[in-house]
């Protein structure tokens, strides 16, 4: 009887151990994303305020173990960093930069000129001169503050419409299209050693791609420095195709700029009315059809996601000479923006770590890929 009881206890503890197999208990001591991709490109993640401020959690050790680059998901946008024309709030961005330095990371700035999450005072600028003064001081003050400590910036974010024309933002409306060239000029004057990026979503779509290409050519023709293109990877389980992503990488690389894959996450949920991209102003109704996996992700989809990540990273490795950095838009499925976009309150699974920070199949599908590619 005693022996049976003891064996039962052993079996039960083993079962508990297996079911609790979380990130920390897996023997990945020698392995991590950042080590695997060390000679290929930076592996980055976006971090939020909580992650910047909490230095001792499981989450922050996961960030420093797996990633060698960071992007601030929200705290450096103008409405937070520069809420009034005469007020900058550098408290959190100081902590963000310190976090990156403590962990010896490549630190990216996101973002200087963006129509969304925009400090309201920008909208009061009525003419070209007023806007130019505001933009120049915004760009230069922030870049100079972190000169030599932040290594690259999204100087302009999402300036294009889907058809490749320029978005009618407050910047375009007041200054005309030269605001783009000037933004890059002011950024390079503030720190000539920075890598300066144009960052946007749907950069694989043909019309938008053509728009981005002519914008970059135009900036370069003015003799102004632009170092790279950020292709936001807000992608889906089946789209865009690997071929289209590859063609886009080739097209941008032909301009002589670096390519960063930024904001990478892969939605596994239905896409309402064929919506693509990340236009935050679009919202739809939640329902069962649109939220098919409210509790867990079926194994078949978990595998499909892992395969999709695997295919995408094989392509990135093939073009490693053109790619400077690949940044995931968040750490885990728990905090991804995609739980609330474009439909509020869904359960999405777009990242490499699950809601308990356990690595998913997708994580393992990437870990050893660089060995053979």
Question: Is residue 116 within the footprint of ligand 9MR (CB under 6 A)?
Answer: yes
Which 8-state DSSP code applies to residue 112?
S
By the 10 Å C-beta count (0-12 exposed, 13-18 middle, 19+ buried), 195 is classed as: buried
Q: Which is nearer to ligand 9MR, 329 or 367 (CB)?
A: 329
Among 280, 283, 287, 296, binds ligand 9MR (CB under 6 A): 280
Site string for ligand 9MR, 216-255 (x = CB under 6 A): ----------------x-----------------------
Tokens of 324: 């400077």
Active site residue 53: no
Kind of pairing, strands 195-200 and 228-236? parallel
Question: Is residue 120 within the footprint of ligand 9MR (CB under 6 A)?
Answer: no
- Paired with 69 in beta bridges are 44, 106
What distance in Å separates the CA atoms of residue 182 and residue 228, rounded to the nearest whole number? 16
Size of the site for ligand 9MR (CB under 6 A): 11
Site string for ligand 9MR, 2-41 (x = CB under 6 A): ----------------------------------------
- Asked if 64 and 104 touch (Cβ cutoff 8 Å), the reply is no
Q: Which is nearer to ligand 9MR, 155 or 224 (CB)?
A: 155
Catalytic residue among 243, 263, 279, 368: 263
By the 10 Å C-beta count (0-12 exposed, 13-18 middle, 19+ buried), 160 is classed as: buried
Catalytic residue among 59, 158, 178, 368: 158
Of 31, 53, 33, the residue nearest 45 (C-alpha): 33
R_g (Cα) of the chain, nearest Å: 22
Q: Which is nearer to ligand 9MR, 157 or 188 (CB)?
A: 157
Question: Is residue 50 within the footprint of ligand 9MR (CB under 6 A)?
Answer: no
Question: Is residue 188 within the footprint of ligand 9MR (CB under 6 A)?
Answer: no
- Paired with 42 in beta bridges are 325
We find the least distance from the C-beta atom of residue 264 to ligand 9MR, in angstroms, to be 11
Active site residue 59: no
Among 337, 349, 353, 363, binds ligand 9MR (CB under 6 A): 337
Q: Which is nearer to ligand 9MR, 73 or 333 (CB)?
A: 73
What distance in Å separates the CA atoms of residue 67 and residue 236, rounded to the nearest whole number? 23
- Asked if 109 and 142 touch (Cβ cutoff 8 Å), the reply is yes
Question: Is residue 49 within the footprint of ligand 9MR (CB under 6 A)?
Answer: no
- Asked if 108 and 70 touch (Cβ cutoff 8 Å), the reply is yes
Q: Which is nearer to ligand 9MR, 154 or 354 (CB)?
A: 154
Phi, psi (deg, nearest 5) at residue 158: 55, 50
Among 59, 73, 191, 251, binds ligand 9MR (CB under 6 A): 73
Q: Which is nearer to ligand 9MR, 158 or 361 (CB)?
A: 158
Phi, psi (deg, nearest 5) at residue 12: -65, -45
Question: Is residue 327 within the footprint of ligand 9MR (CB under 6 A)?
Answer: no
Question: Is residue 333 within the footprint of ligand 9MR (CB under 6 A)?
Answer: no
Region 250-279 residues binding ligand 9MR, contact defined as CB under 6 A: 263, 278
What Cα–Cα distance (Å) separates residue 297 from each residue in 60, 294, 367? Answer: 25, 8, 21
Question: Is residue 66 within the footprint of ligand 9MR (CB under 6 A)?
Answer: no
Of 237, 331, 240, the residue nearest 293 (C-alpha): 237
We find the least distance from the C-beta atom of residue 77 to ligand 9MR, in angstroms, to be 7
Tokens of 276: 């693509």
Residues of this chain that interact with ligand 9MR (CB under 6 A) are 73-74, 116-117, 157, 201, 232, 263, 278, 280, 337
Give the residue numbers annotated as catalytic, written as ranges: 158, 263
């Amino acid at each position: 009887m005693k022996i049976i009881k003891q064996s039962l206890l052993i079996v039960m503890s083993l079962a508990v151990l297996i079911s609790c197999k979380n990130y920390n208990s897996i023997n990945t001591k020698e392995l991590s994303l950042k080590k695997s991709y060390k000679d290929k490109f930076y592996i980055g993640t976006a971090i939020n305020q909580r992650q910047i401020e909490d230095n001792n959690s499981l989450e922050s050790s996961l960030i420093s173990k797996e990633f060698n680059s960071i992007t601030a998901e929200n705290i450096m946008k103008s409405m937070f960093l520069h809420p009034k024309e005469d007020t900058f709030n550098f408290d959190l961005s100081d902590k963000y930069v310190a976090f990156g330095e403590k962990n010896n990371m490549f630190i990216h700035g996101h973002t200087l000129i963006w129509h969304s999450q925009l400090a309201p005072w920008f909208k009061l600028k009525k003419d070209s001169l007023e806007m130019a003064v505001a933009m120049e001081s915004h760009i230069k003050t922030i870049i100079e503050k972190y000169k030599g400590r932040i290594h690259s910036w999204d100087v302009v974010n999402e300036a294009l419409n889907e058809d490749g024309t320029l978005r009618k933002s407050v910047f375009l409306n007041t200054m005309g299209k030269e605001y783009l060239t000037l933004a890059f000029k002011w950024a390079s004057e503030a720190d000539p050693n920075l890598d300066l990026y144009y960052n946007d979503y749907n950069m694989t779509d043909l019309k938008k791609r053509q728009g981005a290409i002519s914008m970059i050519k135009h900036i370069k023709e003015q003799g102004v420095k632009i170092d790279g293109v950020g292709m936001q990877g807000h992608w889906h389980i089946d789209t865009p195709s690997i071929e289209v992503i590859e063609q886009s990488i080739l097209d941008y690389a032909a301009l002589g700029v670096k390519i960063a894959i930024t904001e990478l996450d892969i939605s596994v949920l239905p896409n309402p009315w064929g919506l693509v991209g990340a236009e935050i102003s679009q919202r739809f109704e939640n329902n069962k059809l649109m939220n098919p996996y409210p509790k867990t992700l079926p194994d078949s989809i978990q595998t499909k996601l892992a395969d999709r990540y695997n295919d995408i990273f094989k392509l990135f490795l093939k073009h490693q000479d053109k790619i400077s950095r690949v940044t995931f838009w968040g750490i885990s499925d728990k905090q991804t923006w995609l739980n609330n976009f474009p439909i509020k309150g869904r359960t999405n699974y777009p990242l490499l770590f699950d809601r308990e920070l356990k690595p998913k199949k997708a994580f393992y599908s990437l870990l050893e890929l660089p060995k053979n590619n």
